[in-house]
Amino acid sequence: MNGVRMDGKLGARVPRYHRIAEALRERIGSGQLAAGARLDNQRKLAQSFGVTLMTLRQALELLERDHLITRRHGLGTFVAAPSIDYDILQLRRFAGDLSAKGEHVATRLLGTRFGAADRRVAEALRLSPNARVLGLERLRLVDGHPMSLQRSFLPSPIGDEVVRADLALTPLHQVLEFKLGVVITHARETVSAVRLGRREARDLGCRAGEPAFESERVSFNAAGAPIVFDRVFIPGDRFRITRELHYEGASS
Amino acid sequence: MNGVRMDGKLGARVPRYHRIAEALRERIGSGQLAAGARLDNQRKLAQSFGVTLMTLRQALELLERDHLITRRHGLGTFVAAPSIDYDILQLRRFAGDLSAKGEHVATRLLGTRFGAADRRVAEALRLSPNARVLGLERLRLVDGHPMSLQRSFLPSPIGDEVVRADLALTPLHQVLEFKLGVVITHARETVSAVRLGRREARDLGCRAGEPAFESERVSFNAAGAPIVFDRVFIPGDRFRITRELHYEGASS
DNA sequence: GAACCTCAGTGTTCTAGAACTCTCTTCCGG
DNA sequence: CCGGAAGAGAGTTCTAGAACACTGAGGTTC
């Protein structure tokens, strides 16, 4: 990173197996290798990349660690169903979380609209029912595939400012922080398992009735005032929550 | 050829590099290798275990993935600082310990049975596929209503002991701790959203196809050996995950 | 029909090196 | 005193196999 290797001769000192993994990642990302498809067997792959079996396997190792493929002894190597681990212990935000794993994350703004808050939104934001709020609808894409549908609601004073920013380019939390000086310090999140509604399913490119996570989150600033309410839908086959638990019991 | 242990059929066939990782894990766990200590260099370690560098490195790979060691190019291999995750530790279990909330919780034992481990179970418990495991099926009732269906799997040596206890009366973790001296110190849990199968729905008293949480958990003892695998189903309308998030001054 | 056997295809483990890179220390020339 | 060169010690990448183990399919036997 810092040590800039500009000396042309070596240039790319990326290990062979990294490059192979990259090439395969490409094939998977581009759809050339669809989810569930079986790759060539390892010996063939090794030969086609001109490396040893061991080297190829190192590449597969990388991909498996990222859940891009699964290997099954005696059967073959398969493109994994797209599914993402959300390490619930890491409080990093969604986008940051995934990009840390080397996936390409994009956000598509589906629309913004002022309207009346529904009951849950009003309650969460401590507004009177039917108060005017700004609603944002965004689709998160991971490697080009829809991952989650996010509906955010902001109280109209804040919303008035936010709506002037280019949300297609600037993440919401940056708009809040740098344009409005509002910093989110904590949040409360509730996750439940639901059936996808028709509209949500359409936007997410799957069938209505599919099981999904629904996460409702209220974010607060340091003063404890609610700033934004998010409702996120994530199809169950594209997402997992993992966490580590530590039981202390021993010394008590 | 090399000391292959042909003992019986159970648990044999553990790859060399797994055993080496286990041995090192032991040294680290016992304090023989303190945090921050540098291990022998890889070639020496390989020699002392009587394997090739490549094989030894596979063992180190495992340990690094578990954050037990860190490797630094040009410097050496070090026992990792026990840094990770002090804070958030919600020690309560995901599906357990609802009793903390004052509800009346009961457990009904639906059945116990020895059988062959399925792929996920075998993998999680590090057994060979189709190894014999004890399966327990339990229904958790909160205030008399079915809340969750829990299927637990234990390796047969442990299962043999467990099955003699009166699980209708004694919680599993107590049986493990007081009858077998096995203490669960940590676990890894993965939660996904699924559709309930017919059998599960029947036991839980709801309709097949309903959205539900599925939690898979592997519990480990202090030595890092997997002890029990749990698969829990909870209908989506009966349960929510709630958590508080605190964003530190991370400037990213 | 059920249970067993065998076999081809595929992933997994392991060997015995060789060459390379990275970090730090030491030493030499200025 | 400073700055670079040299070297030692450590991790990393890669080769060219060989032997082993798992899965599923298709026969064979009872």
Indicate if the pLDDT at residue A248 is higher than 70: no
Query: Which ranges in chain B are annotated with CATH 3.40.1410.10?
Result: 98-238
Size of interface A-B (CB pairs under 8 A): 121
In three-state secondary structure terms, A245 is strand
CA distance B196 to B152: 18
Band (B38; pLDDT cuts 50, 70, 90) = very high
Closest residue to D8 (CA to C1') is: B74
CA nearest to B35, candidates B92, B74, B80: B80
Band (B7; pLDDT cuts 50, 70, 90) = very low
Say what the ipTM of the complex is. Answer: 0.54
Best residue of B87, B219, B240 to probe chain A, by most A CBs closer than 10 Å: B240
Query: Which ranges in chain A are annotated with CATH 3.40.1410.10?
Result: 84-242
Query: What's the whole-number mean pLDDT along residues B179-199?
Result: 78
B121: number of Cβ within 10 Å: 24
Indicate if the pLDDT at residue B139 is higher than 90: no
B16-79: CATH topology is: Arc Repressor Mutant, subunit A (1.10.10)
Q: What is the pLDDT of residue B77?
A: 94
Query: What's the whole-number mean pLDDT along residues A145-159?
Result: 85
Q: Which residues of chain B are within 8 Å of residue A247 when distances are taken between CB atoms?
A: 91, 184-187
Residue type, B100: A
Band (B76; pLDDT cuts 50, 70, 90) = very high
User: Closest Cα of chain B to A173: distance in Å?
Assistant: 11
The answer to whether A89 contacts B85, with C-beta atoms less than 8 Å apart, is yes
Indicate if the pLDDT at residue B49 is higher than 90: yes
Sort residue B187 into left (φ over 0), alpha (ψ -120 to 50) or beta. Answer: beta
CA distance A63 to A46: 15
A84-242: CATH topology is: Chorismate lyase (3.40.1410)
Nucleotides of D under 7 A from a protein CB: 9-24
Band (A212; pLDDT cuts 50, 70, 90) = confident
User: Closest Cα of chain B to A48: distance in Å?
Assistant: 23
CA distance A128 to A134: 14
Element (H, E) at B156: helix B156-162
Query: What's the whole-number mean pLDDT along residues B202-215?
Result: 80
Band (B252; pLDDT cuts 50, 70, 90) = very low
CA distance B223 to B28: 9
Contacts of A218 (CB under 8 A, 6+ apart): A124, A125, A187, A188, A189, A226, A228, A229, A230
In three-state secondary structure terms, A29 is helix
Tens digits of per-residue pLDDT, A62-95?
A: 998 877 888 988 999 998 765 444 433 233 343 3
Q: CA angle at residue B238 from B235 to B241, to 5 degrees? A: 95
Residues constituting chain A: 252
Tokens of A113: 């609209």
A119: number of Cβ within 10 Å: 9
Q: What nucleotide is nearest A76 when CA is compared to C1'?
A: C10
Tens digits of per-residue pLDDT, B222-238?
A: 777 888 888 888 877 66
Q: Which residues of chain A are within 8 Å of residue B149 when distances are taken between CB atoms?
A: none
By the 10 Å C-beta count (0-12 exposed, 13-18 middle, 19+ buried), A93 is classed as middle
Q: Which residues pair with B217 in a beta bridge?
A: B189, B230
What protein residues sit with their CB closer than 7 Å to strand C? A 3, 10, 13, 39, 41-43, 53-54, 57, 60, 71-77; B 2, 15-18, 50-55, 58, 72-75
Q: Which residues of chain B are within 8 Å of residue A236 when distances are taken between CB atoms?
A: 192-195, 211
Q: What is the pLDDT of residue B39?
A: 95
Indicate if the pLDDT at residue B251 is higher than 50: no
DSSP annotation of B200 reads H
Query: What's the whole-number mean pLDDT along residues B154-180?
Result: 79
Band (B144; pLDDT cuts 50, 70, 90) = low
Closest residue to C16 (CA to C1') is: B52
Band (B81; pLDDT cuts 50, 70, 90) = low
CA of B203 to C1' of C7 (A): 43
Name the closest residue on chain A to residue B177, using Cα atoms.
A250
Query: Which ranges in chain B are annotated with CATH 1.10.10.10?
Result: 16-79
Residues constituting chain B: 252
User: Closest Cα of chain A to B191: distance in Å?
Assistant: 5
CA nearest to B79, candidates B87, B68, B65: B68
In sequence order, what DSSP letters do the residues of B221-238 get, joined into one string? ETT--EEEEEEEEEEGGG
Best residue of A186, A221, A245 to probe chain B, by most B CBs closer than 10 Å: A245
Query: What CATH number labels B98-238?
Result: 3.40.1410.10
On whether the CB atoms of residues B64 and B70 are closer than 8 A, the answer is: yes
Q: What is the pLDDT of residue A123?
A: 84
Query: What's the whole-number mean pLDDT along residues A170-198?
Result: 78
B65: number of Cβ within 10 Å: 11
More confident site: A80 or B64: B64
Band (A242; pLDDT cuts 50, 70, 90) = low
CA nearest to A60, candidates A35, A41, A36: A41
Best residue of B87, B244, B245, B246 to probe chain A, by most A CBs closer than 10 Å: B245
Please enumerate residues of B whose Cβ is less than 8 A from a Cβ of A: 54, 65, 85, 88-91, 93, 183-195, 209-213, 217, 234-237, 239-248, 250, 252
Query: What's the whole-number mean pLDDT along residues B52-61?
Result: 95
Band (A97; pLDDT cuts 50, 70, 90) = very low
The answer to whether B190 contacts A242, with C-beta atoms less than 8 Å apart, is yes
Output B206-209 pairs: Cβ under 8 A, ≥24 positions apart. Answer: B206/B235, B206/B237, B209/A209
Q: What is the pLDDT of residue A118?
A: 85
Please enumerate residues of A whose Cβ is less than 8 A from a Cβ of B: 54, 65, 83, 85, 88-89, 91-92, 96, 184-195, 209-213, 217, 234-236, 239-250
Tens digits of per-residue pLDDT, B120-129?
A: 788 788 776 6
Tens digits of per-residue pLDDT, A111-132?
A: 888 888 888 888 889 888 778 8
Q: What is the pLDDT of residue A70?
A: 86
Averaged pLDDT of chain B: 74
Provide Rg for chain B, Cα atoms.
Answer: 21
Indicate if the pLDDT at residue B57 is higher than 90: yes
Averaged pLDDT of chain A: 76
Best-predicted range by mean pLDDT (A199-213, A220-234, B73-87, B188-202): A220-234
Q: Which residues of chain B are within 8 Å of residue A178 when distances are taken between CB atoms?
A: none
